[in-house]
Amino acid sequence: MTKFEEKQPSVSVDKLMWMYEQMVKIRYYEDQMVEAYTEGKAPVFNIGEGPVPGEMHLATGQEPAAAGMMVHLTKDDTVTAPHRPHHHAIAKGVDLKKMTAEIFGKETGLGKGKGGHMHLFDPQAKFSCGGIVAAGIPHAVGAAMANKMKGKDWVAVAFIGEGAANAGAFHESLNLAALWNLPLIIVVEDNSYGISVPKTASTSVESNDLRASAYGVAGAYVKDNDPVAMYKAAEEAVNRARNGQGPTIIEIETFRFLGHFQGDPELYRDKQEVPGLRARDPIMKLRQQLLDAEHVNEPELEEIENRAKKEVDEAYQFARDSDYPKPEAALDDVFTS
Amino acid sequence: METAKKRMLTGNKAMAEAIAQEMENDKNVFVIGEDIGKYGGIFGSTQGLMEKFGPERVLDTPISETAFIGAAIGAAAEGMRPIAELMFVDFFGVCMDQIYNHMAKIPYMSGGNVRLPMVLMTAVGGGYSDAAQHSQTLYATFAHMPGMKVVAPSTPYDLKGMMTSAIRDDNPVVFMFHKSLQGLGWMDQLDYAVGHVPEESYTVPLDKANVMREGKDVTIVGIQMMTHFAMEAAERLAKDGIEAEVIDLRSLAPIDKDTIINSVKKTHRLVVVDEDYRSYGMTAEIAAIVSEEALYELESPIKRLAIPDVPIPYSHVLEDFVLPGPTQIAETVKQMMNEA
């Protein structure tokens, strides 16, 4: 057995490879979005200009939370995500072309251009996200309720940032889900900052898995942005939920390589911090682990990486080639007939 | 003889200066909200305050609006003068109980015995593709509920003067500042976001509209960005020989009826422009007031321009379609003049 296998005997290679591919895809997608977002905003940055206007919150560095959870989910399981949703959407299997078209404001987008980057809805993938902190948690509670009412073993996962764990909706939702024994999982991505406010200045406990006992639910903590550790914590939580044993809070220490939003001057952050985080890049680490354990060789990895990049490039091209909606379409879809 | 060069400030600096001057004057004034400390406020409304007054009086909070706005209410009841920031007005949903059921009603329910001298400041406005949950103004939502003053200044001069008045006012004041008028480096650089602001402390009343441009043919009442668009439209109309009187509403509650009615008595035509949803809003309220109190002064029906009753869409072409602009205002006036 290799050192790698000794340390993590229970994770199948297939699933590791799947996770690796998702993480690479997400990273490349976010890197491409940095470029696309910058277009049209020079020489003076103007948030309302360019093919991708408005706010942009990228998940570069936060890939393990998404990959390590979605590996256990099917199309029947529900995911809700916050204003930083791309990694969740991609790993959940959201239609990448329609998602990108939505971000570009095109009529072929998931929401016909009406929602934008913070409001991506893909019912086929049971994925939704929104711009109000913690608002997605009650939605996941509802999906979990519906699953239970239908007699299914489907679960619902709410992804939030560590800032959201201090919002009222977090506490109400946990109490309710615990009380009614719902198949809910909350994944807290601790990227250290709620915009500019560090966790130490916002949260009364060291990590939110410690809050689990206050609600009578299970808690788990994942250190160092480790996708394999996330895989294991998620596996336990998903099994617990599927077996009718109630909710789990998983907190994962993750890294926000970029600002809160694109254009964030990040004056609240030490200049050494991000290079330090980049040196602990989870994708680089996993790549090396896979090679070291000889699960895969260099050409195979490149094939995966090229496949992922091709899918992303095609999605961006689809978005650019698509048409904008007709202006009067703004009046449609308020109500359904 | 040299004329003194006028001192120009951006909207956000004007606000921060008002707050700083009041904090110097009165130890009971403090600021509380998200990213208002080190960051200086996402929209720059509290820049420089933490350096000057320290973390004891400039408090960064967790994402817990019910808790910290409720706390501001409790502190105000104890004689403090808090300025709480609700980062985006769109977030009011998570804490509206504290705002409209408590901040707005406790003074009344206590028969005037409990005073809540607090300011709830909040960023409003769209037009830069921030989509449905980050682009609203919600002027009417707040103006409709009794018990709170609601103001929405349009110029740096008014931002400072009205903030000073709001802080000194012993009533709860909802102070709505428009993001596009803050002078932010990452938004479109608008001329309106910079203006003359005297260095000394001064006040602007919280219950008076401002006639920004005099005219005899039509009254256009606007608010914040819509006022500036109305001014642009007025310039275009002047080329066609139509002289519009532009009123900057500035104060939603209490509303300055007199200025509007006096103007309508002069021009006999009224257009109201709002950046909120059309139905049950500012345009409806002003139309109702004028219908009740100056109906026979009108020579043609009142025209209302506002966001049609739809959530604000993301895509630029769709958002452009729903937001009123100078062209729409000018065309509406021309139609009105032709109908005569």
ipTM of the modeled complex = 0.90
DSSP state of B93: G
- Is B320 exposed, middle or buried (CB count within 10 Å of its CB: 0-12, 13-18, 19+)? middle
Distance separating alpha carbons of residues A140 and A173, to the nearest angstrom: 9
Domain residues for A25? 9-50+57-95+131-314
Residues A271, A277, A278, A279, CA torsion sign:
positive
Query: Inter-chain contact B311–A334, Cβ cutoff 8 Å?
Result: yes
Which one of A114, A117, A167 has the shortest CB-CB distance to B94?
A: A167
Q: Look up the CATH number of domain B210-339.
A: 3.40.50.920
Count CB neighbours of A150 within 10 A.
8
Could you tell me if B132 lies within 8 Å of chain A, comparing CB atoms? yes
Distance separating alpha carbons of residues B189 and A120, to the nearest angstrom: 30
Distance separating alpha carbons of residues B331 and B323, to the nearest angstrom: 15
Query: Inter-chain contact B317–A327, Cβ cutoff 8 Å?
Result: yes
Do B8-196 and B210-339 share a fold? yes
Residue A264: closest CA among chain B residues belongs to which residue? B186
Radius of gyration from C-alpha coordinates of chain A: 20
Count CB neighbours of B56 within 10 A.
7
The DSSP-derived string for B282-338 is HHHHHHHHHHHHHGGG-SS--EEEEE-SSPPPSSHHHHHHHS--HHHHHHHHHHHHH
Q: Which residues of chain A are within 8 Å of residue B90 when distances are taken between CB atoms?
A: 131-132
The encoded tokens of residue B154 equal 């349009």
Domain boundaries, chain B: 8-196, 210-339
What residues 252-311 of chain A have any CB closer than 8 A to a CB of chain B? 263, 267-268
Could you tell me if B265 lies within 8 Å of chain A, comparing CB atoms? no
Number of domains forming the structure of chain A: 1
Q: Output the pLDDT for position B189.
A: 87
Q: What distance in Å separates residue B152's CA from the closest CA in chain A?
A: 22
Query: Inter-chain contact B39–A196, Cβ cutoff 8 Å?
Result: yes
Q: Output the pLDDT for position B340.
A: 64
Q: Which residues of chain A are within 8 Å of residue B321 when distances are taken between CB atoms?
A: 327-328, 330
Q: Is residue A282 part of a domain?
A: yes
Q: Is residue A180 scored above 80 in pLDDT?
A: yes
- φ and ψ of A185, to 5 deg: -125, 130
Q: What is the mean pLDDT of each run of 10 residues along chain B (340 residues)?
A: 77 98 97 97 98 97 96 95 98 97 96 96 98 98 98 98 98 98 93 97 98 98 98 98 98 98 98 98 98 98 98 98 98 92
Query: Inter-chain contact A131–B93, Cβ cutoff 8 Å?
Result: no
- φ and ψ of A26, to 5 deg: -60, -50
Mean pLDDT of A247-264: 97
- Is B292 exposed, middle or buried (CB count within 10 Å of its CB: 0-12, 13-18, 19+)? exposed
Residue B58 contacts residue B37 (beta carbons within 8 Å): yes
B134 in catalytic set:
yes
Q: Output the pLDDT for position B4.
A: 64
DSSP state of B207: S
Distances, alpha carbon A75 to alpha carbons A93, B76, B217, in Å: 8, 51, 63
Q: Angle CA(B169)–CA(B175)–CA(B179) in degrees, nearest 5?
A: 155
Task: Give the model confidence (pLDDT) of A87-116 as tens digits.
Answer: 999 999 999 999 999 999 999 999 999 999
Domain CATH code at residue A236? 3.40.50.970
Q: Is residue A146 scored above 50 in pLDDT?
A: yes
Distance separating alpha carbons of residues B106 and B109, to the nearest angstrom: 5
Q: Residue A42 — pLDDT band, cuts 50, 70, 90?
A: confident
Q: Is residue A76 part of a domain?
A: yes
Which one of A45, A105, A194 has the shortest CB-CB distance to B186?
A: A45
Q: Angle CA(A191)–CA(A183)–CA(A81) in degrees, nearest 5?
A: 35
Q: Is residue A335 part of a domain?
A: no
Could you tell me if B4 lies within 8 Å of chain A, comparing CB atoms? no
Classified as helix, coil or strand, B179 is: helix
Residue A197: closest CA among chain B residues belongs to which residue? B35
Q: Which residues of chain B are within 8 Å of residue A44 when distances are taken between CB atoms?
A: 189
Residue B98 contacts residue B134 (beta carbons within 8 Å): no
Q: Residue A6 — pLDDT band, cuts 50, 70, 90?
A: very low
Distance separating alpha carbons of residues A159 and A129, to the nearest angstrom: 9
Determine the residue type at B124. V
Q: Is residue A4 scored above 70 in pLDDT?
A: no
Q: Which residues of chain B are within 8 Å of residue A46 when distances are taken between CB atoms?
A: 186-189
Could you tell me if A46 lies within 8 Å of chain B, comparing CB atoms? yes
- φ and ψ of B197, to 5 deg: -135, 115
Q: Is residue A241 part of a domain?
A: yes
Q: Is residue A106 part of a domain?
A: no
Q: Is residue A154 part of a domain?
A: yes
The DSSP-derived string for B96-158 is HIIIIIIITTHHHHTTT-S----EEEEEE--SSS--TTTS---HHHHHTSTT-EEE---SHHH
Mean pLDDT of A161-184: 97
- Strand pairing partners for B175? B121, B151
Which residue has 């009046």 as its token pair?
A: A331
Q: Output the pLDDT for position A1.
A: 42
Q: Is residue A305 part of a domain?
A: yes
CATH superfamily of domain region B8-196: Thiamin diphosphate (ThDP)-binding fold, Pyr/PP domains (3.40.50.970)
Per-position b or e across B166-193, b if 16+ CB within 10 A of its CB: bbbbebbbbbbbbbbbbbbebbeeeebb
Q: Is residue A208 part of a domain?
A: yes
Query: Inter-chain contact A116–B129, Cβ cutoff 8 Å?
Result: yes
Q: Is residue A302 scored above 50 in pLDDT?
A: yes
Radius of gyration from C-alpha coordinates of chain B: 20
Q: Which residues of chain A are within 8 Å of residue B61 when distances are taken between CB atoms?
A: 197, 202
Q: Which residues of chain B are within 8 Å of residue A164 when distances are taken between CB atoms?
A: 63
Could you tell me if A196 lies within 8 Å of chain B, comparing CB atoms? yes
Q: What distance in Å separates residue A54's CA from the closest CA in chain B?
A: 4
Q: What distance in Å separates residue A183's CA from the closest CA in chain B?
A: 25
Q: What distance in Å separates residue A308's CA from the closest CA in chain B?
A: 27
Q: What distance in Å separates residue B294's CA from the closest CA in chain A?
A: 33
Distance separating alpha carbons of residues A138 and A177, to the nearest angstrom: 9
Residues B293, B298, B300, B302, CA torsion sign:
negative
